[in-house]
Amino acid sequence: MGKKVIKYIIVAFVVLLVGYNSVYFKKLDEVKAEQTAKTFNAAAYAQNFWDKKLTPGLSNAIAIDKLIPMLNTNPAQAFDSYSHALGIGNLRYFLIQGKGTVAAIDGDDVTVSIAGLPEQKVKIATEYIFGNAARDATGLININDFNNTMDFNNVSAEINAIIRSKVLPQLKHAKVGNSISFTGAIELNKEHVNLSQIEAVPVAVNIQP
C-alpha cells in the first residue's frame, strides 16, 4: 500500500470521526418540550400583569389635578417623580387618576373637564388603543425579563386588547354631563410638554349620571 493511499485513508477516517461526533440525536418528546418552553405566551403574561400588578396598583396613580400644576411649575420634578420610560428619550409615560364631568363625546374619545381644574381637559380614548403607554406607565415591566423585543411588544398588544374588551364598553354609555372617574396612562414629551392635548388610554372608568 502506497503512502498516498495511506494518507487518503487517514484523511477519510478523520472526516468520518469528526462527522460522527458532530451528529447527535434527541428523543422527539425532548425536542417538543424544549420548543414549548421557549414559546412565550404574551396573552397569559398580559392577563397576569393586569390582574396581579396593574389593577391592584391603580391607587398609586398620580392624581391629574396634582400632576398638572406640577408640570406647569416644576416639570423636571414631575417627570422624575411620576413618569416611566424604557429608554433615555423624551417620551415618558404617567399613570394618572382623575375625576370630572363629561364635556364632549366624539367617535374616538370622551373629553373630560377635570374637577378642580375647570380649564383642563383630558381626552379618554374610546376607539384607537395602541402603543406602549398602558404597558410602560407603571414601570413594573422590565424589558430585560424578555428574550426578544417581539415578545415584549406582543405584551403591549395583549394589554391593549384587554382594554378594548373590558374598559371601552363602559365608555360607550357615557353622556355629556355625566360624572366620571378614571385611571389611565398618558404619554408626554418632556422637552415639549403640551397640556392642551392630553389623551389617556383608560385602564379603569366609573361613570355616574
The strand pair at 91-105 and 121-125 is best described as: unpaired
As given in the structure block, the three cell numbers for residue 63 are 392624581
pLDDT in tens, 144-202: 999 999 999 999 999 999 999 999 999 999 999 999 999 999 999 999 999 998 999 99
The single residue listed with the C-alpha cell 423636571 is 76
In 3D space, the residue among 128, 137, 108 whose CA is nearest the CA of residue 50 turns out to be 137
SS3 165: helix
**Structural domains of the chain, ranges and CATH numbers in brackets:** 1-39 (no CATH), 42-208 (2.40.50.420)
pTM: 0.80
pLDDT band at 16 (very low <50, low <70, confident <90, very high): low
pLDDT tens column, 114-134: 999 988 999 999 999 999 999
Paired with 92 in beta bridges are 188
Q: What is the pLDDT of residue 38?
A: 66
What DSSP state is assigned to residue 193?
-
Which residues fall within 8 angstroms of residue 171, CB to CB, at 6 or more apart? 110, 124, 126, 202, 205, 207
For residue 92, the one-letter residue type is R
Mean pLDDT of 46-74: 97
Beta strands in 106-197 (DSSP E): 109-114, 121-125, 179-189
CA separation for the pair 133, 92 (Å, rounded): 9
Of 121, 123, 153, 161, nearest to 136 (Cα)? 153
Main-chain dihedrals φ then ψ at residue 50, nearest 5 degrees: -65, -45
User: What is the phi/psi pair of residue 61, to 5°?
Assistant: -65, 145
Give CA–CA dist 60/133, Å, rounded: 16
Taking 70 as the threshold, does the pLDDT of residue 104 lie above it?
Answer: yes
Q: What is the pLDDT of residue 8?
A: 55
Q: Is there a contact between 117 and 71 (Cβ–Cβ < 8 Å)?
A: no
* Element counts in the chain: helices (H) and strands (E): 8, 7
